[in-house]
Amino acid sequence: MKSKDSLDGELEVLFDPNGLSEDGTVSMRICAISQDAKYLAYGLSSSGSDWITIKVMQVENKTIELNTVSWVKFLCASWTHDSKGFFYSRYPAPKESENLDDGTETSANLNHETLHRSSGGDRKALGQISINITQTNAKQISNLITSLSKQATDPKLRNILSMCAENYKDAINNLNQAKNAINSGDFDGMNAKASAAETNSSICEDGFQRTPKPFQLQQANKKVSVLL
């Protein structure tokens, strides 16, 4: 792939897929240039696998951004008109207990989702803001649950609140790990830990299916899942 600064400019190599691996087993499967021509999103696959990892190059200096998008299959990345990010689709990363699909078989993949990824520093900054706000909400809810638990006279309600207290302790820990991940540019790690925190919140919510939820918790518990 070559580029030039203008119609009359000299062609220069922007991206050479022949150098991706010495044995030729890594190939470029997709590519998409941003509207302002500042970014190139491209997807790589190894050993004939259908799984694709998306990377982003800054065209001006050919710098490859640290964060990547994994568990992608059969897609075309589509940049927004303001070139601040692109839309793509992917599958959830397999859990540790699940068999790893190497992408060369015809195994079924479920829960396909469409997402948006910001380019450059936007994604990191927005992620940090979201995690910080969610963590503040989680800590406030944790304190509220502790207060309600001390006031509760119904043993069943007290048990549910005790479970919620443990869930939010785990949620806060997962959000701390999400913050560490985003600071190091590990966006997949951030998404995994943020998703785990949302699951912690949902487990607390599910505990009130047969027991009336205290009024103070009716809206507060939603603040964690809404922001993630």
What whole-number distance in Å separates Cα of residue 187 and Cα of residue 70? 10
Report CA dihedral (181, 187, 193, 199) to the nearest 10 degrees. Answer: 160
Place of tokens 């205290």: 214
Assess contact for 121 and 214: CB atoms under 8 A.
no
- Give the number of domains in the chain: 2
Among the residue ranges 77-91, 110-124, 132-146, 193-207, the one predicted with the least confidence is 110-124
Final residue belonging to a domain, choices 83, 118, 153: 118
Q: For residue range 82-136, what is the model confidence (pLDDT) as tens digits?
A: 888 888 888 887 766 556 666 666 667 777 777 777 765 556 766 777 788 888 8
CATH of the domain at 142: 1.20.140.40
Q: 71, 94, 118 — which closes off a domain?
A: 118
Distance CA 45, CA 26 (A): 6
**Do 110 and 173 share a domain, yes or no?**
no
Residue pair 117/69 in contact (Cβ under 8 Å)? The answer is yes
Rounded distance between C-alpha atoms, residue 88 and residue 53, angstroms = 11
Q: Do 16 and 80 have their domain in common?
A: yes
Q: Could you tell me if 112 and 190 lie in one domain? A: no
> Same structural domain for residues 134 and 103?
no
> Do 168 and 94 lie in a common domain?
no
Task: Supply the mean pLDDT for the chain.
Answer: 82
What is the residue whose two structure tokens read 């919620």? 164
Element (H, E) at 58: strand 52-58
151 lies in the same domain as 112:
no
Closest CA relative to residue 25, chosen from 108, 109, 104: 104
**Radius of gyration from C-alpha coordinates of the chain:** 22
Q: Where does the pLDDT of residue 219 fall: very low under 50, low under 70, confident under 90, or very high at 90 and above? A: low
Report the pLDDT value the prediction gives residue 162, as an integer from 0 to 100.
94
- Partners of 100 in beta bridges: none
Q: Which domain holds residue 77?
A: 2-118
- DSSP summary character for residue 93: P
* Residues 216, 180 share a domain: yes
Q: Quick one: 111 and 164 in the same domain?
A: no
Residues 108 and 194 both lie in one domain? no
Question: Within 13 Å and on the Cβ side, how many CA atoms surround 204?
Answer: 33
- Domain limit, last residue, from 88, 118, 148: 118
pTM of model > 0.85: no
* Closest CA relative to residue 130, chosen from 85, 87, 181, 86: 181
Verify that 110 and 179 share a domain, yes or no: no
**For range 161-184, the mean pLDDT:** 91
Least confident residue range of 24-38, 44-58, 137-151, 184-198? 184-198
pLDDT in tens, 16-61: 888 888 888 899 988 899 989 999 999 999 888 888 999 999 898 8
